[in-house]
A and B are shown apart, each in its own frame.
Chain A
Amino acid sequence: MSLDRSDIEKIAHLARMAVDEDRIEGYATDLSNILGLVAQMDDVATDDVTPMAHPLHMAQRLRVDEVTEVNRREDFQAIAPKVESDLYLVPKVIE
């Protein structure tokens, strides 16, 4: 599978990353090569293999339903860029 310019632009947009115009071709080549590497898997017979959701062969451990956290708002908000009325302030996003 090979990626073209518009794929790179789309991926960059979805990731909210600014990409220099003159590097797009390079990214397209590099990312296509990575996909090519992974595509080698297509040649392996995997019909009998259960898809893996996680490399560790373990099941999720569960936590008891208890409140263990205390209010640390002051600490967290001390390092936030903008705070008002106990709220984190962010650029306006209205859908």
Chain B
Amino acid sequence: MQWETVIGLEVHTQLATKSKIFSGASTAYGAAPNTQACNVDLAFPGVLPVLNREVVNCALKFGVAVGAEIGRRSVFARKNYFYPDLPKGYQISQFELPIVGKGELIIELENGESKVIGITRAHLEEDAGKSLHEDFHGLSGIDLNRAGTPLLEIVSEPDMRSIKEAVAYARKIHQLVVYLGICDGNMQEGSFRVDANLSIRPFGQEAFGTRTELKNINSFRFLERALNYELERQIDVVESGGRIVQETRLYDADRDETRSMRSKEEANDYRYFPDPDLLPVEIDESLLEQIRDELPELPTAKLQRFIQTYALGEKEAKALTASRPLADYFEVVVEAGGETKMAANWVTMKLGGALNKAGLNLADSPVSPEQMGGLLKRIADKTISGKIAKQVFEAIWNGEGDADTVIEAKGLKQITDTGAIEPIIDDIIANNSKQVEQFRAGKEKLLGFFVGQVMKATRGKANPEQVNELLLKKLKG
């Protein structure tokens, strides 16, 4: 039988705020255990949560970016369950009235087509602490630094029909939240975590099959592998006459399999109710206006603009707009005088390669975009050749100043004076009579040899086009 895959994703994004959602404790990653867990995070008696304004702004930015209905009045609710990394015995979340309602996101598929994925809702909640199950004499150790870190949980419709679509959607959400500056997107640090719901049904059947939920996947590669495993497993179960049980399964990356989490004695019964410690959040039109006005250009719009404004191919434009800092860098390079195609090439290949090799982020690039633009300007106006430019790039990278300074200091200016190149060519022709003979006998490939000799003699500073021209004239003449 042919099976159709149905996938919906819940993405937990940690919001990039300085302090927690309901307390003034820091959210900085990597602090010593329990140094960033204050009495609100620890649920001391008598403390009260106070909502962080920036958290609301982050949620609104996302809502506006996906064209969602904004909950003009949203309500925090208590989700009750007992777990040691949740000191209150409930998680403050949103249930009936989330801050972001229905929206949509367009994903691009491999075949070049795009598809609209529905977003059901996005709601605010607090993250829990971390449990460490290493051996503490049979006990668990709890670090509550993460407790109270703001999360925006983005819930999709079950609109994805393949694993590729699911991964494309997750990547698109990731790109969007990072573009919006509401999440740092660091998956190793858990800033962006994915839960996936997967079910199968015979092609043509309308009703959904029973789904399983895969929890806490923190890389796109693991998402793909976990879904692949789970899809195969479900097909095996159904085709061998079994039934899928609705359950939560954990993906074990080491064994590349999903495992049933010991099912709780009873189904989750969270007994949501409005949190009496928090009043409804009201969003007025002026705040929404402000959010709309301040919204940065989004990835899809930027991609289109790059293709049109800079006459770039889609592949180049995609590479450049993959991240906002890279796109910004490129635009400064162009503004500083870089020709667009050349700039695209230098930024993605040469600079990208050098950064990669040095293990640096773009933000830490030793070559500023202004310097890069200045360098490319000197290629475009033929002050230096492309080959010399690589040498100049290294010098800029090593902190020897901008392109003009380096070119001047090292005497790298291209020789375009015919009078200076001609004697060198004459010399080379005189000293290589055998090759000249062969060339004249029709072995035209030897032109490269002569160009090489001239470049060597001028230490790469001769203008290659000019050398070509002069050589041909003299060799054929």
Residues of A whose CB lies within 8 Å of any CB of B are 10, 13-14, 16, 53-54, 56, 58-69, 71-73, 76-77, 82, 84-95
Contact = CB atoms under 8 A, between A and B. Distances in A.
A58 to B, nearest CB: 5
Interface in B73-97: 75, 80, 82-84, 97
Given A54-B274, A85-B141, A16 B82 contact: yes
Contact of B144 (A14, A88, A91, A95): A88
Which secondary structure dominates where chain B touches chain A? loop
Given A53-B75, A66-B24, 5 more contacts: A13-B266, A65-B18, A67-B26, A76-B34, A88-B144
Given A61-B50, A94-B133, A67 B19 contact: yes
29 contacts: A16-B82, A53-B97, A56-B279, A58-B279, A59-B280, A59-B282, A60-B279, A61-B50, A61-B51, A61-B279, A62-B51, A62-B52, A65-B17, A65-B52, A67-B24, A69-B38, A73-B35, A76-B37, A84-B136, A86-B33, A87-B132, A87-B142, A88-B34, A88-B144, A89-B142, A90-B139, A91-B84, A93-B131, A95-B262
B370 to A, nearest CB: 32
A16 B24 CA distance: 31
B52 to A, nearest CB: 5
B25 A67 contact: yes
Interface in B13-59: 17-19, 23-26, 32-39, 42, 50-56
B138 interface: yes
Given A10-B266, A59-B281, A73-B35, A65 B19 contact: yes
Nearest to B34: A73
Contact of A65 (B53, B82, B132): B53
Contact of B23 (A61, A64, A69, A82): A69
B19 A60 contact: no
Contact of A91 (B54, B80, B140): B140
Contacts of B144: 88
Contacts of A85: 33, 136, 141
Contacts of B311: none
Interface string B57-76: 00000000000000000010
Given A59-B280, A92-B139, A87 B26 contact: no
Given A66-B24, A86-B34, A54 B279 contact: yes
Which secondary structure dominates where chain A touches chain B? loop
Contacts of A63: 19, 24, 50-53
Contacts of B55: 65
B140 A92 contact: yes
A64 B42 CA distance: 21
B269 interface: yes
Contacts, number: 129
A61 B133 CA distance: 39
A94 B53 CA distance: 35
A62 B25 contact: no
B473 interface: no
By Cβ-Cβ distance, the 10 closest A-B pairs, closest first, are A68-B24, A87-B141, A65-B54, A62-B53, A59-B282, A69-B38, A60-B279, A90-B84, A86-B33, A53-B75
Contacts of B34: 73, 76-77, 86-88
Interface string B357-378: 0000000000000000000000
A69 B279 CA distance: 23
Contacts of B264: 95
A87 B279 CA distance: 33
B280 A54 contact: yes
A94 B274 CA distance: 29
B271 interface: yes
B354 interface: no
A71 B35 contact: yes
Contact of A53 (B23, B82, B274): B274
Given A16-B82, A88-B141, A92-B138, A67 B18 contact: yes
A76 to B, nearest CB: 6
A89 B136 contact: yes
Nearest to B19: A67
A59 B18 CA distance: 24
Nearest to B273: A53
